[in-house]
Structure 1
Amino acid sequence: MEDDWLIRSLIHEILEMEGFEVVTAETGDDAWHWLCETLGGADLLLSDIHLPGGLNGIGLANRVQAHWPRIPVILSSGGKGQQILESGYAPLFIPKPWHSQDIGTICRRAIALATPRQ
Structure 2
Amino acid sequence: MKIMFTPQLRADALSLSLDGDVLTVNGTAYDFGPLAEGGTLPREAVGCPLLASDVTRVGGHIMLALILPHGSDAPEAARFPQPITVTQTGPIPLPVTYAEEAPE
Normalized against structure 1, the TM-score is what? 0.29
Higher relative contact order (CA 8 A, sep 6+): 2
**Larger proportion of strand:** 2
Pair member with larger Rg: 2
TM-score for both structures, normalised by structure 2? 0.31
Q: Please state which structure has a larger fraction of its residues in helix.
A: 1
